[in-house]
Structure 1
Amino acid sequence: MSEYQYYEFQAIDRPLTAAEMSELRSISTRARITPTSFVNEYSWGDFKGEPDLWMEHYFDAFLYLANWGMHLLKLRLPPRLLNPATALAYFGSDSAFVNVKSGKVILSFSSDDEDGGEWVDGEGLLSSLISVRAELARGDLRALYLGWLLRVQAGEVDSKEAEPPVPPGLGQLSASLDSLADFLRIDGDLLHVAAKASSPLADLALDRDQFLAWLGTLATAEKDEWISRLVVESDQAAVAELRQRFLRQRGAAGAGPMTTDRTVGQLRAAAAAYARQRMHIEAEKQAAEKMRREQETAVAREKHLDGLVGREARLWNEVETLVATTQAAGYDQALRHLVDLRDLAERGRGGDFRLRIESLRQAHARKLAFIKRLDKAGL
């Protein structure tokens, strides 16, 4: 299998300058570069840039995958939107870690499937994950918890270690978070049992009148500062920051992350028990479905045979005609008729089937392809 690597970077809070695009072009002449993205694929060779350095200076999101099983996602946010200490409550080892560089918080999610070898295509994957960053910017910590689960799954967290606070809505993942769990190959059974301790997600939709009333409580100078940041400085993060502050002060976030008394070992044991129960239920469903299909097939078979009653002599004549064609299609159709005749004989109709089939074998002994079909069908 040929090598495949996919690199994609996205700039969200601000576009790249012409000088920055030129710097990136000097690293790769083949990449697709726009003011908001850098994309390159490799079936041979390797990437000459430094993803960590690029995330520090240019981009807000980075996705990498390779067909030997490596999946990597990096997201960059300002500390005013994601407190590094909050991230460190969930991250801290190879599969999920956090760095603070150049005044930015950079989250890294890494999943390595040692089996690898699957067919992969990176095009469009980052688009399905990019909203995770916006959710984190709104104060949604579910992505951090998924990172912690990834560490648990990878065996990087001691079984006696306590579970971090469980954010609301783990059982109601957004499309982007669902894509993140899939991209990171997080075990569904582990996520299921973890979500049992998660409260429902609160409705965080903004009410215009409530927001205007809250704005009225801010000092004029402070409001002027917000407007200046939004309009003059084009500070896109200011929108999320203002929203976070409003929701926090309004108390609209509902129940925040819940502290449990579960340990990593208990979560793993619960996930294993749930997996056994799920597989048992699935096996019962599959067995019931198999029985239903078999019953339907049997009923259809009986109905088919009922329609052949009284036509036995005609079927034997058709078999002789079809075998005489010495063609594969004719042999196949003759075999289907013979199976019908055998089953009719078992019902007590169609005469002495065994004598007729032996006579047929002797008459056409040189037609090896036909005889082989009879042998395979047990006729």
Structure 2
Amino acid sequence: MSEYQYYEFTVVDQALTARQRSELRSLSTRAEITATSFVNTYEWGDFKGDPRTLMERYFDAHLYLANWGTRRLLLRLPKAALDPATAAEYCAGDSASAWTNGKHVIICLNREDDDGTDEWDIDGHGILGSIIPVRADLAAGDLRLLYLGWLRCVQSGERGDDEPEPAVPAGLATLSAALTAAAEFLCIDPDLLAAAADGSAAASASQPTDAQLRQWVTGLPAGDKDAILAALITGTDGHLRGQLLHRYRVEHPPHPSTPARTAGQLLTAAADRRAERERQLAERQERDRLRRERSAAAERQRRLDALAADQGSAWQQVDALIATKKPREYDTAVQLLVDLRDVAERDCDPAPFHRRLTELRATHARKPSLLERLDLAGLDG
């Protein structure tokens, strides 16, 4: 397979009509089209549709994946659920952008291949499903996805070192499963994300308690309460809960835990974290290596002790192995001879070993394969 492209579009707020599905079918005869989704893969050729146009007309979410490194996530929300100005604060680059269309705002988070390495073992099925819950969270005022988009811009070098970060949402240190899936899909540097999380309040800081919500609702104007009840009863607003939580968060913004940092400071902090992590890994690997070496040395000493107690049988085994004239048995015989030599040197009595080795080489002088193995092992008589 020379290439792989995966396209998936999903509707959340309203199912596709039969006419809309027919319009989509004209773009592809191979696509899997349902009342809520459009999925197609390409191993050659390209999709005839324009994802931007399809998002504006039909869909609420789109995921694109190509094995040359491009990854793209688009989400469409009503302007009442996501203020376009808020989206613009975080999404202003190639890796994160936003635009409005009618009553909607659409955000696009994009990752291009950073190192030129193709990704062959990939499959797009199921990824959008694991990410899509972030749309409801975003509609409810959870801005962590937008901040991830801004981090993606920082990581891609689209933000100047002196550019300050936007407002840091709470809970960056404890991402939900959907946000984690989004961060992994966009290949956001874990060290950069961890550095950003240092300036993020705990997730609980942005989660109002039931008591706080009840008190807030009690203080709402009567007209607002009537509108909320009407929308709830008629079911005309699928984002009602999210909009209310969003409104509460806007009216009760969390206090920033740290002053705004710059993109350069975050990159430096990420580099420091990476260096520290790599240092700790190297130390751990060195400790493991030394432990393995000590264990191997102790095991070898036990083997040599056993060999020293019955060297006569060992020499008989060497002769039997050589007699087979098999290369694998030659290797075993040579290793046994190395052990016998080490026993002799350890016991400070190498002369008898070297006499027997000289005799062995003379006896098998017509076995060049064996003699070559002995030479390579340093058993030269």
TM tier, smaller: 0.7 to 0.9
More displaced 10-residue stretch of structure 1: 226-235 or 204-213: 204-213
Question: Counterpart of 2:181 in structure 1: which amino acid?
Answer: S
Is the Cα contact below 8 Å between 1:153 and 1:187 reproduced in 2?
A: yes
RMSD over aligned Cα atoms: 2.8
1:69 aligns with 2:98: no
Deviation of 1:282 (Å)? 2.2
Partners of 1:354 and 1:84 in 2: CA distance: 87
More displaced 10-residue stretch of structure 1: 362-371 or 129-138: 362-371
Aligned residue for 2:117? 116
More displaced 10-residue stretch of structure 1: 61-70 or 182-191: 182-191
Aligned residue for 2:161? 159
Aligned residue for 1:343? 342
Q: How many corresponding residue pairs?
A: 376
Q: How do 1:239-278 and structure 2 match up within 5 A?
A: 239-245=241-247, 251=252, 255=254, 260-278=259-277
Partners of 1:352 and 1:327 in 2: CA distance: 27
Unaligned runs of 5+ in 2: none
- % same residue: 47
Q: How do 1:85-234 and structure 2 match up within 5 A?
A: 85-113=85-113, 114-119=115-120, 120-202=122-204, 225-226=227-228, 228-230=230-232, 232-233=234-235
Deviation of 1:115 (Å)? 1.4
Deviation of 1:323 (Å)? 2.2
Partners of 1:5 and 1:360 in 2: CA distance: 66
Note closer, same or farther for the CA distance 1:37–1:304 as it changes in structure 2 (3 Å cut): farther
Deviation of 1:206 (Å)? 7.3
Deviation of 1:211 (Å)? 5.6
TM-score, normalised to structure 1, is 0.88
Question: Counterpart of 2:47 in structure 1: which amino acid?
Answer: F
1:149-196: CA deviation from partner (whole Å, max 9, x where unpaired): 111111111112122111111112222222222221222222222221
1:58 aligns with 2:58: yes
Aligned residue for 2:299? 300
Q: Determine helix, strand or coil for the equivalent of 1:44.
A: coil
Q: Determine helix, strand or coil for the equivalent of 2:308.
A: coil
Note closer, same or farther for the CA distance 1:265–1:336 as it changes in structure 2 (3 Å cut): same
TM-score, normalised to structure 2, is 0.87
Note closer, same or farther for the CA distance 1:48–1:363 as it changes in structure 2 (3 Å cut): farther
Deviation of 1:222 (Å)? 5.2
Aligned residue for 1:44? 44
Note closer, same or farther for the CA distance 1:358–1:31 as it changes in structure 2 (3 Å cut): farther
Note closer, same or farther for the CA distance 1:35–1:231 as it changes in structure 2 (3 Å cut): farther
Is the Cα contact below 8 Å between 2:170 and 2:205 reproduced in 1?
A: no
Aligned residue for 2:82? 82
Unaligned runs of 5+ in 1: none
Deviation of 1:74 (Å)? 0.9
Partners of 1:144 and 1:86 in 2: CA distance: 9
Deviation of 1:354 (Å)? 3.6
Partners of 2:10 and 2:365 in 1: CA distance: 72
Note closer, same or farther for the CA distance 1:309–1:247 as it changes in structure 2 (3 Å cut): same
